[in-house]
Structure 1
Amino acid sequence: ALRVYVMGERGANREPASPADIAAMAALAKRAMEAGALGFSTSRTLNHRTSDGQPTPTLTAAEDELMGIALGLKAAGRGVLQFVSDFADPKAEFGLMRRLVEASGRPLSFSLLQGPKAPEAWRDLLAALSAATAEGLPMRAQVCGRGVGVLLGFELTLNPFSHTEAWKSVAALPLEQRMARLAEASFRAALLDDAVPPGSAAIASRLTQDWDNMFLMAETPDYEPRREDSIGALARARGVAPEAVALDHMMTRGGRGMLYLPFLNYADGGLDPAYDMLRHPDCVAGLSDGGAHVGMICDGSFPTTNLTLWARDRTRGPRLPLEHMVRLQTRATAETVGLLDRGLVAPGLRADLNVIDFDRLAVEPPTVGYDLPAGGRRLLQRARGYVATLVAGQVTYRDGEPTGALPGRLVRGAQDAPAALAAE
């Protein structure tokens, strides 16, 4: 937003920023921090694209541009830096981030995930992070406790048949009418025959037909599924096509059955890399995507999964202490963005609390709601076991239902710790 605001079409087209452009961005970043922004974030990943498929305008932003903005935060004396990157060249990219911190003195966090193309690269990044923090640089990695991926289904943005002509012929129909057509034996046969038409195999196999890494979303979600439970493995065991297994499951629940495709943090078919990241002293729990990609991603349940999977339910490897997982999602997160008036249970801090029945705590399967403007669709996922949620001392949710109390207020910028706590 900052780049395009200053540079217009030149910024959107990823042209290099001029010295005047950089000066304008730095000045605006400084003003934003002084007005109460928490920090500056930038995207350097090909996973983020515009609505017409173009890479994000900041993908190739040069170091002088990013340095100018970081120095704008330095001039304000406040604000954090945040990066998401593909780390195509991990050494060079981390070096860039480190130089920004060294020059600006501002804290920086970056998203750290295991990718399928270089499944060990995250270890090198963690080693570089440890070296930087050992020298006193305020840097952290944001990590997540489960695979990052997409949900597929007949009610969602994509399904394994989205690219077929047969599906396109019914895609615009209301769900009930689509299901009626899918129940017809002749249409089902046409859909399966049309599953991978000529010319579309590459994109289909990359995302919507990665059968050996795709799983059935059950009534009790399993976020560390085994390879032998993949759709590909089930199809081979049953002697049928994987497309048929996927189709049958998506037809359940009145056409609302979903498929789960993790493509980050799951290159090994398990969550041991996530375990190592979560226990690293320079990592915090993050990346809970609760408001974007609303027809494909439902990761707002990360915080609950972090507690249930890692502190109670995991069977495929070691667990983590409950108090460790709570700290990662409370005080450690608050410190990362400079909100030092919360994240602990202590006199003088905000009384923002969850009262949890840990034995009952669980995430429910994702569902689709149509409560956005003009009946827009979004994925939802409820949890049970939260007895009460308090914001500033007032109960805002009780047993998962809103009480009507709305005590929350706009937070302008970093918040200092109370004097008594700071003295400790």
Structure 2
Amino acid sequence: MTYDVIIRGGEIVDGTGSEPRRADLAIQGDRIAAIDDVSGDAALTIDATGKIVTPGFVDLHAHMDAQVMWDPKASPPCYHGITTMLNGNCGLSLAPVRPDEAGVLVKLLEFVEDIPAEAILEGNRFTGGSFGAYLDTLESLPMGINVASLVGHTAVRYLAMGERSMDESADPNDAELSMMCEAVRGAMNDGAFGFSTSRSLVHSTSDGRKVPGTFANLDELMAFGKVIKEAGHGIYGWVSAIESGDAEPQQRDVEMMRRISSETGCAFTFAVVQIRDNPKLYRELLDQIAAANAEGAKLRPQTEVRAVGVVVGLQNVTPFQQSLEWMALGKLDIEERLAALRDPERRAALARDGNASTSEAQLSQIHQLVVEDGNARYDFSEDDSLWAIAKRRGVTPADAFIDIVLETDGQACFIFPFANYDIEVVGQMLDDPDMMLGLADSGAHVGQICDTSFSTFFLRYWIHERGLMSLGRGIQKLTSEPAEFLGIRDRGVLREGAFADINVIDLDELRVHLPKYTGDLPAGAYRFIQKASGYDYTLVNGRVFMKDGEFQGESAGVVLRSS
């Protein structure tokens, strides 16, 4: 028999939790046709000897609602084995919206998620309408990976309440709540995978108001859970005030989710991270979640697999942003900045002003992203901090930073980890039975953080190096676990008849590269991207999407609709 693709001799890690087994895998069209000792020929034969063959990975927390309209390869998730992503998180979606108000939702994406409005407006192909119309727009465009979406609280609340939706004390009247529920119902009927809301106080508009839904009461939030129950499918995404160490708001939110889940049967997912202001709060929350689930609730927290932090360096934000000298330096292009650092007089002024504007406490929390054997390490220690590096070198912190920047021709990266800063605690959270992998924030905060490489880091560090769990279980957490949670059928597993979303990975060669600051967004806007090595092939729906880290021009991804 002749197949379209045969992957020969690989170690099949099928996504179910089973351990690897050697087998061939054949693809016909967009489906897996056989997994065994496959005979016959194929238009393409891939030699996977010594490699693992896995389902494509699922990203539960993305914000590429707009980017997928102009970027068919969906970068940078494409570099990390992601074949399916979930957009519409944190209460933010581009629909439903009246055409003359579409700019409001664009502005919310800009200010909340640090996505330049000029990039969105130039690349946007959606001019307003229902949630279904938004999905129809995506379907008319080339998609490199599969895209699923949640409908956001901000959109439906603004649709029903207008500017009043952002007033802290404004509850919807009966007519407004009915309109919101009808909008969510319409979105669910059109294929939304659920609903999302944000209660984070850092999610603000340009004038300082909080995004629609931040202060919604239990009755309003319960109403959306009932719509999801009525639809018979979909999940409930939630973001609490995780930026604060104050236990009360987060514990209150877990209790609200418990009540909604218990009454409606909705499954929730939400962030739990370690915060410096209250380093043990994560443990209290996980205990509260476990107790709620023991009583029948369906609460599934998600966390990042490493430190969540701002990327610091010469290319974007330096450690000395409060210094006037460094602020002036930031107005130059990168070559001019390097030239200024090489000028003895300018360097002396920058060092003097930089040292005067910072403290040991600040610089002890900024760590160099060390590269070993081509792999960027995120398991920071006190020795990696800029303050410690300066002491070892016998120079001031500003001089140490300047030296490192010049030694790397401006490419050095540092990280200020504001959450999940203790790698051992991260491991404990990942080992929690309720925890899922997430918070990659792909497409968001593009000039500040770069966490899309979560899948590569998880496999390289937690599975291959640390052995936190078996390879089979680790692949399951990246594939079938999130797919099943979302209700996505025939993805996240390798079995006959399943969709052929597949990675061929050289686990020994898996590397996370340094983040790069590049102006490749529409309108020339800048963002961080982070690539990887070790992914020999990524196939989406049976077509070769990526090979050795390079886009192959195939856009076989589809817009997924829940039902």
Normalising to structure 1: TM-score of the pair? 0.88
Question: Conserved in 2, the CA contact under 8 Å of 1:81 and 1:109?
Answer: yes
Alignment match, 2:160: 6
Matched, 1:63 2:218: yes
The 5 Å alignment of 1:286-305 reads 286-305=438-457
Corresponding letter in the other structure for 1:152: V
The 5 Å alignment of 1:29-48 reads 29-48=184-203
Deviations 1:66-120 (A, max 9, x none): 1222222223222210111125313322111111112222211111111111111
- Cα distance, 1:18–1:54 mapped onto 2, change above 3 Å: closer
Distance in 2, matches of 1:326 and 1:51, equals 41
Alignment match, 2:426: 274
Deviations 1:303-338 (A, max 9, x none): 000000001224xxx632222211111011112222
Distance in 2, matches of 1:91 and 1:298, equals 28
1:50 alignment partner, one of 187, 205, 210: 205
The 5 Å alignment of 1:239-254 reads 239-254=394-409
Matched, 1:361 2:515: no
In structure 1, stretches of 5+ residues that fail to align are 415-424
Distance in 2, matches of 1:34 and 1:279, equals 36
* Corresponding residue SS for 2:351: helix
More deviation in 298-307 or 168-177? 168-177
What is the Cα deviation at residue 52 of structure 1? 5.2
- Cα distance, 1:5–1:248 mapped onto 2, change above 3 Å: farther
Distance in 1, matches of 2:501 and 2:170, equals 44
1:174 alignment partner, one of 323, 333, 337: 333
- Cα distance, 1:354–1:251 mapped onto 2, change above 3 Å: same
Alignment match, 2:171: 17
Q: Answer 1 or 2: higher relative contact order, Cα 8 Å, separation at least 6.
A: 2
Matched, 1:217 2:366: no
Distance in 2, matches of 1:334 and 1:239, equals 52
Alignment match, 2:108: none
1:97 alignment partner, one of 257, 262, 277: 257
What is the Cα deviation at residue 134 of structure 1? 2.3
Alignment match, 1:132: 292
Corresponding letter in the other structure for 1:330: T
Deviations 1:165-224 (A, max 9, x none): 112323222221222222222222222222277xxx6xx669xx7211211123331111
Corresponding letter in the other structure for 2:299: M
Matched, 1:148 2:308: yes
In structure 2, stretches of 5+ residues that fail to align are 1-153
- Cα distance, 1:409–1:194 mapped onto 2, change above 3 Å: same
Deviations 1:325-353 (A, max 9, x none): 11111011112222132111122221111
Corresponding letter in the other structure for 1:223: Y
Distance in 2, matches of 1:150 and 1:205, equals 18
Distance in 1, matches of 2:203 and 2:487, equals 26
Distance in 1, matches of 2:404 and 2:484, equals 43
Distance in 2, matches of 1:393 and 1:140, equals 31
* Corresponding residue SS for 1:213: coil
Distance in 1, matches of 2:216 and 2:401, equals 41
Distance in 1, matches of 2:183 and 2:549, equals 40
Question: Conserved in 1, the CA contact under 8 Å of 2:341 and 2:402?
Answer: no
Distance in 2, matches of 1:394 and 1:86, equals 41
Distance in 1, matches of 2:561 and 2:400, equals 51
- Cα distance, 1:174–1:334 mapped onto 2, change above 3 Å: same
Question: Conserved in 2, the CA contact under 8 Å of 1:25 and 1:68?
Answer: no
What is the Cα deviation at residue 256 of structure 1? 2.9
- Cα distance, 1:105–1:250 mapped onto 2, change above 3 Å: same
Normalising to structure 2: TM-score of the pair? 0.67
Distance in 1, matches of 2:232 and 2:516, equals 44
* CA-based RMSD: 2.1
What is the Cα deviation at residue 53 of structure 1? 5.1
Question: Conserved in 2, the CA contact under 8 Å of 1:394 and 1:407?
Answer: yes
Distance in 2, matches of 1:143 and 1:190, equals 42
Deviations 1:234-263 (A, max 9, x none): 223334322222232233433232211111
Question: Conserved in 1, the CA contact under 8 Å of 2:535 and 2:547?
Answer: yes
Question: Conserved in 1, the CA contact under 8 Å of 2:329 and 2:337?
Answer: yes
More deviation in 34-43 or 252-261? 252-261
Distance in 1, matches of 2:198 and 2:505, equals 35
Matched, 1:231 2:386: yes
* Corresponding residue SS for 2:364: helix
Question: Conserved in 1, the CA contact under 8 Å of 2:181 and 2:224?
Answer: yes
Question: Conserved in 1, the CA contact under 8 Å of 2:367 and 2:385?
Answer: yes
Matched, 1:348 2:502: no
2:268 alignment partner, one of 108, 116, 129: 108
* Corresponding residue SS for 1:210: helix
Distance in 2, matches of 1:15 and 1:288, equals 32
* Corresponding residue SS for 2:326: helix
What is the Cα deviation at residue 54 of structure 1? 4.5
Matched, 1:26 2:168: no
Deviations 1:5-25 (A, max 9, x none): 322221233342222322221
1:404 alignment partner, one of 549, 553, 558: 553
Distance in 1, matches of 2:432 and 2:530, equals 29
Deviations 1:376-424 (A, max 9, x none): 111111111111111112221111212222111111125xxxxxxxxxx
1:187 alignment partner, one of 342, 346, 358: 346
Question: Conserved in 1, the CA contact under 8 Å of 2:491 and 2:498?
Answer: yes
Matched, 1:387 2:546: no
What is the Cα deviation at residue 159 of structure 1? 1.4
Corresponding letter in the other structure for 1:39: G
Deviations 1:114-133 (A, max 9, x none): 11111111112111222222
Q: Answer 1 or 2: which has greater strand percent.
A: 2
- Cα distance, 1:24–1:116 mapped onto 2, change above 3 Å: same
1:308 alignment partner, one of 460, 476, 486: 460
Distance in 2, matches of 1:49 and 1:222, equals 32
- Cα distance, 1:205–1:10 mapped onto 2, change above 3 Å: farther
Matched, 1:328 2:483: no
* Corresponding residue SS for 1:342: coil
Question: Conserved in 1, the CA contact under 8 Å of 2:326 and 2:354?
Answer: no
- Cα distance, 1:23–1:350 mapped onto 2, change above 3 Å: same
Deviations 1:288-309 (A, max 9, x none): 1221111111101010000000
